Structure 1
Amino acid sequence: MNDDNSRELYDRALSVMPGGVNSAVRAAIEPYPFFVQKGDAGHVIDADGNRYIDWVMGLGPLLLGHSLPEQVQAAIQQKASEGPMYGTPTAVEVDLAEFVVRHVPSVEKIRFVNSGTEATVSAVRLARGYTGRNKIVVMQGGYHGAQESTLVEGTHENPAPSSAGIPQSFAEHTLPVPFNDEDAMREVFEEHGDDIAAVLTEPILANYGIVYPEDGYHEFLREITNEHGSLLIFDEVITGFRVGGLGCAQSEFGVTPDLTTFGKIIGGGFPVGAIGGRAEIIDGFAPAGDVFQAGTFSGHPVTMAAGLETLQFAAENDVYNHVNGLGEQLRSGLTEIVADQAPSYTVTGTESMFKVIFTREGPGKESLEEQCSAGCRQRPTCPRYDTCPKNAADVKNAETDRWRRVFWGQMKAQDVFLSQNQFECQFVSYGHTEADVEATLEAYKNAL
């Protein structure tokens, strides 16, 4: 496989960009990333003309794949041709806001911003402003963007910045606890309940190997935050409009958060973020309230048009049946392959998300008949239950180097593009086909 052009581009990039990239995860590919020239349905073509089945899908935004339906493409082109942006409101941002409010259970009002990071930054600020409290509870290993309040590691007794450049005094207001650990959450509230503004969590840990919640966990979070007057924030930047369809993951789990952050799909592949929730809370944003939030590019008309047309197309066509069906085929096929060739590994994911986590321990091959059939659901009767990942630490303890340094390259050599490390999610799009699934399963067989 020729990669001369990608190597030359990366060499040039190293001279003018830190690490040769504009987002750190892109440099996880060794010895250097391939540079994409264009997308085609469920595939990408790199700068050397190599074609890959693409399960990264821009790290999640591309629900429809790379080849947009005509009506979506036309709406984007129309808005772009009318002028880049204006610094005033436009009708299309109202249209998209109304669509989201109509379909997402918890959202009565919404504020559009420019990235998932900006959404979570603003949601944390809003929670603090609304409650008059300082502390935020997060899940260990959970990712909520490149922001000071959540780039924190350690335990709630000893939180510390996970990045240089963040003062320890910032980290002291963030309390990390393990996902799926009710006892740890109770302990945090016993110690700090009067100063906890919010619990911030993904409904499914989707940036750390895909970890499903145990039955009743989100209901517990809803109860304990209500009891202590704290807010519950669901970070649906990844799961929003992917899990649970147009109602998002919160509708799938039947739990209504106070605030929800969005990104990725809500912008149809263009830069976007959003914060939605109860009107009385969202009205805390300026100019209606005292919590300052603003942005030159917020509600950008091209992004709003792309998001609206993407979601309308999904509502009017068989998008979710298609992507969820292919996701089920992938996970079911992977479950069979793993049981036969690598029985300690765990297949995870739901609907149009999937991953194989290289867990080091598992039940004996002979006892896997009753396992979850298409992705871990934290089912206590599953023979994998005692060894499947329950939180980010469990995923981190998997064979992450083997996944990245050996397995990823073997899949690339078979023209399959997977996410750049063990932790990032993989996604099915409307552009993928059953042939893509079959080719990918065959590649997994060979690589495992």
Structure 2
Amino acid sequence: MNHERSRDLYDRALSVMPGGVNSSVRATQPYPFFVDSGDGAHVIDADGNRYVDYVMGYGPLLYGHDLPEPVQSAIQSHASAGPMYGAPTEVEVELAEFVARHVPSVEMVRFVNSGTEATVSAVRLARGYTERNKIVVMQGGYHGAQESTLVAGDADNPSPSTAGIPHSFAEHTLPVPFNDSEAIRTVFEDHGDDIAAVLVEPILGNKGIVTPVDGYHETLRELCNDYGSLLVFDEVITGFRVGGLQCAQGKFGVTPDLTTFGKIVGGGFPVGAIGGKSNIIEHFTPSGDVFQSGTFSGHPVTMAAGLATLEYAAEHDVYDHINSLAEQLRSGLTDILADRAPEYTVVGTDSMFKTIFTRDGATERGEQCGAGCRQDPNCPNFESCPKTGADVANAETDRWERLFWQEMKDRGVFLTANQFESQFVSYAHTEEDIEKTLEAYAEAL
């Protein structure tokens, strides 16, 4: 493939943007290709190369790059009426009503502008509502670029995971391993009276894809009930992708107190949202004393895109289609690994998927996990499949980034650039795309 124009654009970008990108996950070796346009389930780069796209904007693009006509019409209609108003509009009420009607935990919604803003606001709300300071997060979980959650270490020795955050901020955050019920119980025994919230992704989505072991989320729910803390599900990634319109909380049957949203709820436009019980959400200003505000919050074009996106999904076979294709893809990957790299692990559920380059994995697969790890104790791979963020971090991450990603790109398949970010199937993908992808995996592995 020729990448001369992308190389030239990257050379220009390095002069005016740090690292030549506006989001660090877009940086690849030796340089990223620059996208010129999207077409269905494909992207075309600045040099005319065409790729099957499984990045899907890192999750927001449920329909790929060609929106259904009702979604496109709703966007164009609201965009042509004026960019924004600084006043409420009917469409934001309609989207809030839709979310509250379908998501088990949601009675009221506050819309914001990004997943990070949603989690920042949810943490502030939890602290204001409970009048407590500490929050529990999962090691390897990701809740946006905010000071309260960019914390490494463990509950005894938390520390900032990046420069620019005072150590005193990290002291209020208690990191624990995902899927470790004993660890979370110990943290509550030690700090329960000062824990405002447990903030957890229902499925870890930025450290590979790690699903919960049976009963883990129920344990979190029980502990929060016992100690008067709030359970916050970060569904920025899983919201309206896993579990359909009920989101991952509906799939797992555990109802949090608060839920954060992003990505799909805005139909591909910048968005975030905090939903939950009315008596908690009403603590946001102006009805309560927890400040929250934003110039672009409830932007009419974003609200129209989100509402039309979700309404179309409610009226068509969107989830059945994409989940079936993703299961076909994960099943095919499992078969390929059995022959090429049996120690590796296929992960994912619904329309999410990834191959984790696990080390020293089992060489047999049970039928229970034939289309992605399900944390099934009866599976021969149960002891070696990833259960925490650390398990994924210990995989062959350099091999993924420096060799495998490049090989897949050269075969016309666009994957997320590192071992950690989730990958997605969209409504625009076809069986032909799946077949091409499996052929590329077989060759690259």
Determine if the TM-score, normalized by the shorter chain, exceeds 0.5. Answer: yes
In structure 1, distance between residues paired with 2:148 and 2:3: 40
Equivalent residue number for residue 439 of structure 2: 442
Contact kept? 1:65, 1:430, Cα under 8 Å: yes
Equivalent residue for 1:276? Answer: 275
* Cα drift, residue 340 of structure 1: 1.2
* Aligned residue identity for 1:433: T
CA distance in 2, matches of 1:79, 1:10: 34
- Aligned partners of 2:276, 2:361: CA distance in 1, in Å? 41
Report the AA paired with residue 446 of structure 1: E
State which of 416, 420, 444 in structure 2 corresponds to 1:419: 416
Query: Aligned runs of 1:167-316 on 2, under 5 Å?
Result: 167-316=166-315
CA distance in 2, matches of 1:312, 1:401: 41
Alignment-derived partner of residue 32 in structure 2? 33
Q: Is the 8 A contact 1:109 1:282 kept in 2?
A: yes
Counterparts of 1:139 and 1:67, CA distance in 2:
36
Distance 1:150 1:176 in 2: 9
3-state DSSP of counterpart to 2:199:
strand
- Note the alpha carbon deviations across 1:232-263, whole angstroms, 9 max, x for none: 00000000000000000000000000000000
CA contact (8 A) 1:370 1:383 kept: no
Separation in structure 2 between the aligned mates of residue 43 and residue 369 of structure 1, nearest angstrom: 33
Secondary structure (helix, strand or coil) at the match of 2:96 reads helix
Q: Which amino acid aligns with 2:303?
A: M
Give the match for residue 146 of structure 1. Answer: 145
Distance 1:327 1:161 in 2: 36
Structure 2, gaps ≥5 residues long: none
The answer (yes or no) to whether the contact 2:366–2:378 under 8 Å persists in 1 is no
Shift, 1:71, TM fit: 1.1
How many Å separate the matches in 1 of 2:185 and 2:350?
31
CA displacement 1:330-380 (0-9 Å, x = unmatched): 00000111111100000000010000000001123xx43545110001000
8 A Cα contact 2:368 2:374, kept in partner: no
Other-structure match for 2:49: 50
Q: Give yes or no for the alignment of 1:16 onto 2:16.
A: yes
In the TM superposition, 1:21-170 aligns within 5 A as: 21-27=21-27, 29-170=28-169
Counterpart residue identity of residue 224, structure 1 = L
Cα-to-partner distance string for 1:201-244 (whole Å, 9 max, x where unaligned): 00000111000100010011000110000000000000000000
Query: In structure 2, the residue corresponding to 1:85 is in which secondary structure?
Result: coil
The whole-number CA distance in structure 2 between the counterparts of 1:279 and 1:307 is 22
Query: What CA distance in whole angstroms lies between the structure 2 residues aligned with 1:434 and 1:52?
Result: 15
Deviations 1:244-284 (A, max 9, x none): 00000000000000000000000000000000000000000
- Measure the CA separation in 2 of the matches of 1:217 and 1:371: 19
Tell whether 2:357 aligns with 1:384. Answer: no
In 2, Cα distance between the equivalents of 1:183 and 1:332?
33
- Aligned mates of 1:48, 1:89 — CA distance in 2: 43
Q: How does 1:304-383 map to 2 (within 5 A)?
A: 304-364=303-363, 367-370=364-367, 372-383=369-380
Contact 1:260–1:275 (Cα < 8 Å) also in 2: yes
Q: Distance in 2 between matches of 1:105 and 1:143?
A: 23
C-alpha separation in 2, matches of 1:246 and 1:369: 30
Q: Is the 8 A contact 2:91 2:300 kept in 1?
A: yes
Counterpart-to-counterpart distance in 1, 2:131 and 2:278? 18
**What do you get for the CA RMSD once the two structures are aligned?**
0.6
Instruction: Give ranges in structure 1 of 5+ residues lacking alignment.
Output: none
Contact 2:64 2:428 in 1 (8 A): yes
Q: SS of 1:175's equivalent?
A: strand
> Matches of 2:206 and 2:114 in 1, distance apart?
16
Deviations 1:53-101 (A, max 9, x none): 0000000000011000111111101111110000000000001000000
Q: Residues of 2 paired with 1:198 and 1:358: CA distance?
A: 33
Give secondary structure in 1 for the equivalent of 2:297: coil
Letter in 2 for 1:20: G
Contact 1:371–1:384 under 8 Å retained in 2: no
Q: Secondary structure at the match of 1:333?
A: helix
Counterparts of 1:317 and 1:18 in 2: how far apart (Å)? 43
TM-score between the two structures when normalised by the length of structure 1: 0.99
Q: Distance in 2 between matches of 1:20 and 1:442?
A: 32
**CA deviation map 1:25-78 (0-9, x unaligned):** 111x11110000110110000011100000000000000110001111111011
Aligned-partner Cα distance in 1 for 2:249–2:173: 24
Local SS of the residue matching 1:412: helix
In the aligned structure 1, how far is the partner of 2:360 from the partner of 2:208?
Answer: 16
Equivalent-residue separation in structure 1 for 2:431 and 2:245 (angstroms): 24
**1:433 aligned onto 2:430:** yes
Distance in 1 between the 2:273 and 2:55 partners? 22
**TM-score, structure 2 as length reference:** 0.99
Q: Distance in 2 between matches of 1:371 and 1:110?
A: 38
The CA distance in 2 between the partners of 1:414 and 1:371, in whole Å, is 31
Question: Are 1:358 and 1:403, in contact at CA under 8 Å, matched by a contact in 2?
Answer: yes
